[in-house]
Amino acid sequence: MMKKKISVVVPSYNEEGNIQVLASKLVSVLKTLPYEYEVIFVDDGSSDGTLDKLKTLGDLDPNLFYLELSRNFGHQNALKAGYDYADGDCIISMDGDMQHPPDLIPQFIQKWEEGYDVVYTTREYQDEATIFKTKSSDLFYKMINSLSDTKLEKGTADFRLIDRKVANVLVSMNENGIFMRGLIKWLGFKQYAIHYTAEARFSGKSKYTLKKMLRFAIQGITAFSVRPLYLATGMGFFFSALATLYIPYILISYYSGHVVSGWTSILATVVFFGGVQLTVLGIIGTYLGKLFMQAKQRPNYIIRSTNLQRINDLIKL
């Protein structure tokens, strides 16, 4: 009987200090399992020695592969690239900085063999994680869950196993602005959660700056919910109602000859409604922008080179 195959996908952006350690750790875990395996590192336009390290690894070990993207497309797109070209019976995705312990892989596989289609993880931070990161992450999940129908557990990470049939669905989807952890939750199937504690990064520093985290949060919310638009409508109704009550009061004041000298109140109203209108326009604009990006049908990523023969055959690089 043919052995089943595990694919491991690792988006890597400037991870030269981590690649080697992660690769050898991964191999030591994977080779104890009764499966064939491949590890695909997706080099997301790194500007350090990541790609060179990956090429060397690929030459030394026939199970290790790299996929070089033409520039930095971002973590989520790099992940999609890996999912699109991995051909295992299941695909495991993890970060390239040793924050996702390879030791959990046998547990993933066990659950998969029990019949689960998705085995995902939720992370607890170690004490050394900054309060800021912990709190902002909490807030992020609270917001997503209150604004969207796709509920995410706190700390859901891109460290998971998906079955081939789930991967096939993902491959067939070409939406822009991917928010993978939400998308996979949305897909359904039989899902199982494993909790783990995130280690500190082995080397280098986090690529998620405050700006990237904010963008990621907006992405996560607007990719999954149009509720902010309803919210905008609701706000509009609410303030129109207030105004409707306020107008008779003005008229009565006027006819009773008791005209208010209220410069302050006028200014306050103008400033306030100006703010509300800008907010609502911003929300609408965000969705319009997403439509615009999707309408252009641009790919989520572009491959520059790879040592995976089946891709080279496919796209004739």
**Judged by CB, which is closer to ligand UDP: 48, or 113?**
48
246 counts as binding ligand UDP under rule CB under 6 A: no
4-42 in b/e burial notation, b at 16+ Cβ within 10 A? Answer: bbbbbbbbbbbbbbbbeebbeebbebbeeeeeebbbbbb
Which parts of the chain fold into alpha helices (H)?
19-30, 50-60, 75-85, 105-113, 131-147, 164-172, 180-187, 210-222, 227-255, 263-295, 309-315
| Distance between CA atoms of residues 316 and 311, nearest Å | 8
Work out what residue 15 binds among Mg ion, ligand UDP, none; the CB cut-off runs from 5 to 8 Å by kind.
Answer: ligand UDP
x-or-dash string of contact with Mg ion, 98-117, rule CB under 5 A: -x------------------
Using DSSP, state whether 91 is helix, strand or coil: strand
Work out what residue 304 binds among ligand UDP, Mg ion, none; the CB cut-off runs from 5 to 8 Å by kind.
Answer: none
Closest by CA position to 200, among listed 94, 113, 126: 126
Q: How many CB atoms lie within 10 A of CB 171?
A: 13
84 counts as binding ligand UDP under rule CB under 6 A: no
Alpha carbon 282 to its chain's center: 22
CB of 15 to ligand UDP, least distance (A): 5
**Span near ligand UDP by CB under 6 A; candidates 23-31, 93-101, 217-225, 300-308:** 93-101
Residues in CB range of 240: below 8 A, 6 or more apart: none
163 counts as binding ligand UDP under rule CB under 6 A: no
Alpha carbon 205 to its chain's center: 19
| Distance between CA atoms of residues 105 and 29, nearest Å | 8
**Judged by CB, which is closer to ligand UDP: 19, or 283?**
19
95 counts as binding ligand UDP under rule CB under 6 A: yes
**Judged by CB, which is closer to ligand UDP: 11, or 88?**
11
For residue 306, give the H/E element and its range.
strand 303-306
**Judged by CB, which is closer to ligand UDP: 116, or 196?**
196
CB of 143 to ligand UDP, least distance (A): 17
97 counts as binding ligand UDP under rule CB under 6 A: yes
**Judged by CB, which is closer to ligand UDP: 1, or 210?**
210
Which residue in the set 38, 44, 84, 117 belongs to the binding site for ligand UDP (CB under 6 A)?
44
- DSSP β-bridge partners for residue 196: 123
Work out what residue 44 binds among ligand UDP, Mg ion, none; the CB cut-off runs from 5 to 8 Å by kind.
Answer: ligand UDP
Which residues 43-102 are close enough to bind Mg ion by CB under 5 A?
95, 97, 99
**Judged by CB, which is closer to Mg ion: 100, or 185?**
100
Secondary structure (DSSP) of 40-74: EEEE-S-SSTHHHHHHHHHHH-TTEEEEEESS---
**Span near ligand UDP by CB under 6 A; candidates 69-77, 83-91, 243-251, 265-273:** 69-77
| Distance between CA atoms of residues 40 and 58, nearest Å | 10
**Judged by CB, which is closer to ligand UDP: 4, or 201?**
201
Which residue in the set 96, 102, 177, 228 belongs to the binding site for ligand UDP (CB under 6 A)?
96
**Span near ligand UDP by CB under 6 A; candidates 118-126, 172-180, 202-210, 225-233:** 202-210
Provide the binding-site residues for ligand UDP, judged by CB under 6 A: 11-13, 15, 44, 72, 74-75, 78, 95-97, 99, 206-208
Provide the binding-site residues for Mg ion, judged by CB under 5 A: 95, 97, 99
